[in-house]
């Protein structure tokens, strides 16, 4: 008698995310995934047909969560909104690592994976538009220096996400420290 299914699709995607971040896309495979699940390997196929589908679904799930949080931000005060966005991005700082492997997914093997990757790309564009809008408003309101080109401000801000937390402080505190450091060079 085989092992009984004892995990949900959500748990499957959580473990997939952890393993892809730990081993990279190339080191991730369904056998490795099954070794970290309590049920039979065949149960994976009840949810996803192949590696491409499960990793693309994982990416879609992560960026969907970020989009939901980012969309809920009150943009009345652009600087406060930027701080809140940085909090969200730092919380999911591994997203860039995860999405960096999206080009490796052969969506020709799965229409489902292709649709998920298209969603991820569109969501990424949505996040870029939100950032651009907030930075433009902050400059218009004279809260950010206008002599620094917008792409430089946005690039510097985006790179904060990958700053190693060598102090090992809690993520919300780390995000605030990064924002304060960034503002020290950008604020009027």
The two tokens of residue 162 are: 């990958």
Mean pLDDT score, 117-135: 94
Can you say whether the dihedral through the CA atoms of 16, 102, 71, 187 is positive or negative? positive
Supply the pLDDT for residue 185: 60
Q: What digits encode the pLDDT tens for the residues 47-95?
A: 999 999 999 999 999 999 999 999 999 999 999 999 999 999 998 887 7
DSSP the chain: -PPPP---HHHHHHHHHHHHHHHHHHH--HHHHHHTSSS-GGGHHHH-SSHHHHHHHHHHHHHHHHHHHHHTS--SSHHHHHHHHHHHHHHTTTHHHHHTTGGG--GGG-HHHHHHHHHHHHHHHHHHHHHHHHHHHHHHTTSS-SSS-HHHHHHHHHHHTT---TT---HHHHHHHHHHHHHHHH--
pLDDT of residue 22 exceeding 80: yes
pLDDT of residue 98 exceeding 90: no
Residue holding tokens 């004279």?
Answer: 142
- The topology (CATH level 3) of 51-186 is Tetracycline Repressor; domain 2 (1.10.357)
Provide the pLDDT confidence category of residue 41 given band limits of 50, 70 and 90. confident
Distance between CA atoms of residues 143 and 186, nearest Å: 9
Distant-in-sequence, close-in-space partners of 157: CB < 8 Å, separation ≥ 6: 82, 86, 131, 135, 182
Supply the pLDDT for residue 39: 73
Q: Where are the domains of the chain?
A: 51-186
Provide the pLDDT confidence category of residue 38 given band limits of 50, 70 and 90. confident
Supply the pLDDT for residue 92: 86
pLDDT of residue 120 exceeding 90: yes
Mean pLDDT score, 94-122: 87
Supply the pLDDT for residue 188: 53
pLDDT of residue 1 exceeding 50: no
């Amino acid at each position: 008698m085989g092992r009984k299914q004892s995990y949900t699709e959500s748990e499957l995607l959580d473990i997939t995310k952890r393993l892809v971040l730990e081993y990279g896309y190339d080191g991730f495979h369904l056998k490795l995934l099954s070794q970290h699940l309590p049920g039979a390997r065949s149960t994976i196929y009840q949810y996803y047909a192949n590696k491409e589908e499960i990793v693309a679904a994982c990416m879609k799930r992560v960026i969907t969560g970020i989009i939901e949080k980012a969309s809920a931000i009150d943009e009345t005060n652009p600087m406060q909104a930027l701080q809140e966005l940085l909090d969200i991005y730092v919380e999911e700082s591994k997203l860039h690592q995860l999405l960096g492997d999206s080009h490796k997914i052969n969506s020709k093997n799965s229409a489902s994976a292709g649709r998920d990757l298209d969603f991820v790309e569109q969501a990424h564009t949505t996040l870029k538009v939100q950032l651009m809008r907030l930075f433009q408003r902050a400059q218009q309101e004279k809260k950010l220096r206008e002599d620094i080109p917008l792409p430089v401000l946005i690039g510097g801000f985006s790179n904060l996400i990958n700053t190693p937390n060598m102090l090992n402080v809690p993520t919300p505190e780390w995000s605030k420290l990064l924002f304060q450091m960034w503002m020290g060079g950008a604020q009027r």
